[in-house]
Amino acid sequence: MPFNLSEQPPRAAKHPSTQQVHGETLIDDYAWLKDNAYPDVQDETILSYLKAENRYFKAVMQPLDGLKKTLFNELKGRISDEDRSVPQRDGAFVYQWAFAPRADYRHWTRWPEGKPDQAAVLVDEVARAEGHENYSLGGLSISFDDQLMAIGEDFNGSERYQISLTNLVTGDALEDTISGVRGQVYWDAASQGFFYVVLDENHRPYQVRYHRIGTAVADDPLIFAEQDPGFYVGIGMSQDRAYLILSVGDHRTSEVRLIKLTDPLSEPTLIAERRTGVDYSVDHGGGYLYILINDTHRNFRLVQTTVDALDAAHWREIESPSERRYLRGVSAFKHWLVVSERRDGLDQIYIRAHDDTPAGHTIAFPEDSYSAGLASNPEYDVAALRLSYTSMITPPTVFEYSISGQALRVLKVLPIPSGYDKTQYKTERLMAPARDGTLVPISIVYHRDFNKHAGAPLHLYGYGAYGFGMSPSFSSARLSLLDRGFAFAIAHIRGGDELGYGWYHDGKLMKRWNTFSDFIDCADFLIEAGYATRGDISISGGSAGGTLMGVALNVGQDRWKAVIAHVPFVDVLNTMLDESLPLTPMEWPEWGNPIEDPAAFALIKSYSPYENTKAAAFPPLLITGGLSDPRVTYWEPAKWTAKLRDVTTGDAPIVMKMEMSAGHQGKSGRYRALEDTSEEYAFLLGAHGLDDA
């Protein structure tokens, strides 16, 4: 393998820590890597160890620097240097973002409708990011009178945003600044103030407050506070802009309140009290309140009522679910109701009038396998919709859909300056039989010269958690693998929601093993079908998908050529046992509570990658982490790396790259992110022995 293995890797010291849980003794040799002052990590011993890991990573990868540069130039060549969004009207103004040449970040502009020559810059992200290694614009919100702007910015990847305001008439920055909050705000109807969400010390969104412009932030009135540490708070706005939508939920139960934007300090109106296992969302438009709820079927139904008739006795079911029809979202425009759904696992957009006259219709898309959904549609009274569309071989596309004419018009296809011919590639949707007989979808793409049964390399990606389905979408970066002979596959395993909400429930809590076995079974199916060779499959996943990578390494490692685990959630048992950690109580409905439930403890202990790491000759492993990551704390990948390296019986590289100034999303900036991807692909090609390809 073309890695530099001449240097000795860092060896983390062992300082055993023990705890008793349900009559069992747990021993953790590397618990000391957790800095109790997190997120303000200052322990020099820990920092020195992480820096040593980064130095070792660079040393191991040094022979691949040339390949990395080649890949970076390929990836960069597929990005339009001056990419820009399709202009979007919202009221009296038209909005657009754009990249300047060679810029990592966008600038946002607007102009009065019909007067593009009067375009004015709202936010210059390049200037805002200057002096910061990490930058993210988490929200941009314009007041209803078009005179004030609030933006939310994260300068270190911690996902704790700072809200600042600008007077768009004078261009002056206001003194009002709010820190430690979510990045998006919502204005009241009079443009006198806005709502925002506060994070607690454990990063849980738990309060909604209202800030009136020009008043002291310390005096901002509390609108709502969620006391249950397992629930989090979020806010949004109804499509007709009449209500703030205040949502509370965990991973199985939700509760929604409405606040009139004309009366921001009024008592929130509760739609339906929380009931364990009942999840719902709402929108308001056309004079009706719409509730998407799973009270009678796990794939949700859609009911119609009014704000003054909230009792369930007044609800009228207007769209019914089935095992094949999974209702996922609703947007209530002035004359039209738009329902986002999946039918037989395929994205669909269904449009109907509020009174269903004329009868509704489903938008017809041009391919058999694709991903589609509503794009930005800020206005209420629309005759056409903006849609986003992509497939494994079709670059991201923005459509305009004429509702009355039932016709699609292309507004933008993501440009690939170096050239792209989709006829050179093929995609398929396969169905792999799981060990319990369930058919698991696989999306696969490859160059048209790819030959089955010819021993070509295959890369398999998986996630399988939180009901987040993985779309069969396009990646311009992925072409660098396909053009070198790879097939690329996505395993749509249980735990996501690709085949309905039941698909999600069949991969969570006590059914978590379905997620892991589905992934292994998909790999075996691809081997048997000739798309791959045993031992020549590389795999990757991140966060909860990193859990998947850890389990796959422990129980199916003879299949893998290389493993890439991004910010992997691999210390599952210890994390779920520590309710003082960020977000842990909020995660119990997804993973189980091993503190109170012996069965949950036993199940998590059976698969948690860190606890189940045993001596073996591991394939090449690339593990990433972020020091300021609030979702998967940095010590999880650090502890796992230390343990893997301690017990390996082989000589393949086990490397960790810890971003010292980034969080869960890794490096910010479009070109800086390409550096990570080119490094990852160089690692894959090196592991496959294709570093000269």
Q: What is the 3-state secondary structure (H, E, C) of 255-312?
A: EEEEEECCCCCCCCEECCCCCCCCCEEEEEECCEEEEEECCCCCCCEEEEEECCECCH
- pLDDT for 665 equals 66
Strand partners, 362: 350
580 is catalytic: no
| Amino acid (1-letter code) at residue 211 | H
From the candidates 251, 354, 459, 664, give the one annotated as an active-site residue. 664
Instruction: Supply the pLDDT for residue 671.
Output: 87
List of the chain residues with pLDDT < 50:
none
> Which DSSP string corresponds to 56-92?
HHHHHHGGGHHHHHHHHHHHHHTS-TT-BPPPEEETT
Q: What is the pLDDT of residue 666?
A: 65
CA distance 591 to 507: 10
> Which residues are CB-contacts of 484 (< 8 A; sequence separation ≥ 6)?
685, 690, 693
347 as an active site residue: the answer is no
Which residue in the list 475, 543, 608, 678 is annotated as catalytic? 543
Distances, alpha carbon 489 to alpha carbons 392, 456, 505, in Å:
10, 13, 23
60-94 pLDDT, tens digit each: 999 999 999 999 999 999 999 889 999 999 999 99
Please tell me the distance from the alpha carbon of residue 533 to that of residue 296, in angstroms, as a whole number: 45
**664 given a catalytic annotation:** yes
Tell me what pLDDT residue 357 has.
75
Alpha helices by DSSP H, 506-543: 512-528
Catalytic residue among 279, 506, 629, 691: 629
pLDDT at residue number 662: 67
Q: Please provide residue 476's backbone torsions phi and psi, each rounded to the nearest 5 degrees.
A: -70, -35
Residue spans of alpha helices (H) in 123-210: 125-129
Closest CA to 498 of 528, 471, 516: 471
